[in-house]
Structure 1
Amino acid sequence: MSLWLLLPIMIGTSFFITGALRRYALTGRLMDIPNSRSSHSTPMPRGGGVAIVLTFLSVLPFLALNHMLSWSLMLALLGSGSAVAIIGFLDDHSHIPVSWRLLGHFGAAIWALFWLGGLPPFNLFGMYFDLGWVGYTLAVVYLVWLLNLYNFMDGIDGIASVEAICVCMGGMLLYTTLDFPGSQQAMAWIMPMLLTAAVAGFLFWNFPPARIFMGDAGSGFLGITLGILSLQAAWVAPQFLWCWLILLGVFIIDASWTLIRRFLRGKKVYEAHRSHAYQYASRHFGRHLPVTLGVVGINLFWLLPIALWVALGKIDGLTGLLIAYFPLVMLAVKFKAGKAE
């Protein structure tokens, strides 16, 4: 089957599964009831992110069998993604203690790192460093943090969906900066393209005003999947890790700045709240749409050009990261991220 035929099939599949999940949730089995920490005011079905999980994971064996995806990457994505999605799905239905969730998250991250071969050589100012077991440890923490911050950032209509699509599109463009004909790595752009298709079908239902929420199953799955794809990209070209960190900047800065500030105030960092910058911004504008579109604008017109600049070797990765993140930190400060509500 042609990839160009597979794309509309995936978009349609994700769309219809999301619709079915919405009908299931509306029976009362999976409704998000507003409380003092919510960014919405009416009960809303949730769990629609399962459509993304099922649509994306179902094509991986097909790609591996047709030599469009390595078996190692397939096992990394399928095993860790399934584990995180199942944990999130169970937590959506009935609360799972934080300690058990984190245990599962670390297990999924270790599984992924095993099949990926660990953290690739680290590029800093033109020098390459192999961090060995320290790199493995840092990579596991990175994956666990990314999947959890994605959950934290999935708080208003459409924001987690458009972030995933923007990051994946940027990730696809990165591969156009290199020339590697005949290599299986030349097919690396397929994964972000297919994840974009899976999210696009769901976004129809989730774009402001949303008719269903993603839920922990979908947000955690997107977080660890994007993390795996970023590490895979770094195996293709070491500078690509910096590029993916730049592309993920909106979520990384908002979540990290907010939780650091809450920690310094003595708050439990895993406790639900609505003090992220994007949540303050949505209350400031009185709607979710301007904030969600703002995230798209920042990704396309600020972060993507810098990431491509780094990929082309015009600037060092760390320097590009600092340039990209500085205005994001200023936005977090402006919208009082982490401040007491």
Structure 2
Amino acid sequence: MTWLILVAGVAALAMTAGLRRYALARSLLDIPNARSSHTLPTPRGGGLAFVVCFLVGALGLGWAGAVAPPVLVGLLGAGSLVAVIGFMDDHGHIAARWRLLGHFLAAAWGLYWLGGMPPVMVLGWSLDGAWLGGLFGVLYLVWLLNLYNFMDGIDGIASLEAICVCLGGCLLYWLGGYPQATWLPLLLAATVAGFLFWNFPPARIFMGDAGSGFLGIMLGLMALQATWINPLLFWGWLILLGVFVVDATFTLLRRLLRGERIYEAHRSHAYQYAVRQHGSHRPVSLAVAAINLGWLLPVALAVVAFGLDGATGTLVAYFPLTMLAIKYHAGKRE
């Protein structure tokens, strides 16, 4: 199955090149405005490449028996719906309420086929109530896919985050004794890596809402799938996602407290202030990757491999991220 992963990555690389030529020919460009973090018109919609390649590759993994059919139905159904909604929004405009309705339907579909919300241990207590757990699971998925869209604002950051989280998740599976679970995150990492060749700063194409929303829902569902394997893996994945979770949540809460419309475009995330302070996208995106691999992955390993309490490990992992969010003025009015 390794060959399937490699082929999917190369296919995403080639398909992104084709989408870039198509976008340039049709003038499908992201034009900079006062709320943008880029300065040059750039083709958009390249995320469709890794969406298609991942979905086809996942079917191949299912055919080979590496992914259980219910998991496959859940991920493909939820991911396809979110990608279609994002694609339509990329090429026109869908009212926020209809986008959100579609996101909730996708989340509910994926959660249902995964078997519902798995039990999660919090400081020794199990959160496994059917209705409460299901509500938490859907809200978690909807928030994750939207925060991924919020955080896709500079070159390479969303791609690098997805690759780091997926490879980190694979390491958690391997060390935890679940190597059979590595195929889906490996496939997602490979297809996004093919896209990253074109998206690395300075980006030659953007992924668009179709790509960012798809990554958010896929990573969320993979985290819940991991929780059914071992409840500690939920905390491991949540820790790995820490940079995006902390920046987006801190920024959202600060804007909500001021009474701002949270779906209005803005440039008040910590990573956006960091770009303006450091003058370039590349060091900020690379710093996110370094934090993922140098800080969050070791803490996640401490939880999964060495028995550190999951909630405690998450608090430890998130504390310096919160300090960084404050340092870089996350959520501060522009």
Q: TM-score, normalised by structure 1?
A: 0.96
CA contact (8 A) 1:169 1:196 kept: yes
Equivalence for 1:167: 165
Cα distance in 1, alignment partners of residues 197 and 59 from structure 2: 26
Q: Which amino acid aligns with 1:21?
A: L
Matched ranges for 1:247-258 at <5 A: 247-258=240-251
What SS does the aligned partner of 1:123 have?
A: strand
Q: Does 1:188 align with 2:190?
A: no
Matched ranges for 1:56-75 at <5 A: 56-75=54-73
Instruction: Compute the displacement of 1:131 (Å).
Output: 2.0
Q: Does 1:4 align with 2:9?
A: no
**Higher alpha-carbon deviation: 165-174 or 307-316:** 307-316
Aligned match for 2:121, one of 103, 123, 135: 123
RMSD over aligned Cα, in angstroms? 1.0
Q: Which amino acid aligns with 1:267?
A: E
CA contact (8 A) 1:249 1:324 kept: yes
Q: Which amino acid aligns with 1:200?
A: A
Cα distance in 1, alignment partners of residues 23 and 257 from structure 2: 38
The C-alpha deviation readout for 1:6-47, integer Å capped at 9, x for no partner, is: 222111100011011111111244210111000011111010
Aligned match for 1:293, one of 286, 289, 294: 286
Equivalence for 1:144: 142
Cα distance in 2, alignment partners of residues 119 and 187 from structure 1: 21
Cα distance in 2, alignment partners of residues 137 and 67 from structure 1: 31
CA contact (8 A) 2:4 2:60 kept: no
What SS does the aligned partner of 1:135 have?
A: helix
Q: Does 1:229 align with 2:227?
A: no
Instruction: Compute the displacement of 1:122 (Å).
Output: 1.3
- Unmatched 5+ stretches in structure 1: 181-185
Q: Which amino acid aligns with 2:34?
A: S
Instruction: Compute the displacement of 1:65 (Å).
Output: 2.0
Q: Does 1:202 align with 2:187?
A: no
Q: Which amino acid aligns with 1:31?
A: L
Q: Does 1:81 align with 2:84?
A: no
What SS does the aligned partner of 2:94 have?
A: coil
Instruction: Compute the displacement of 1:128 (Å).
Output: 3.1
Aligned match for 1:94, one of 92, 95, 105: 92
Runs of 4 or more above 6 Å deviation: none
Cα distance in 2, alignment partners of residues 137 and 75 from structure 1: 21
Matched ranges for 1:251-290 at <5 A: 251-290=244-283
- Give me the identity figure in percent: 60
What SS does the aligned partner of 1:226 have?
A: helix
Equivalence for 1:324: 317
- Unmatched 5+ stretches in structure 2: none
What SS does the aligned partner of 2:268 have?
A: coil
CA contact (8 A) 1:150 1:223 kept: yes
> Number of aligned pairs?
334
Equivalence for 2:38: 40
Instruction: Compute the displacement of 1:127 (Å).
Output: 4.2
CA contact (8 A) 1:122 1:129 kept: yes
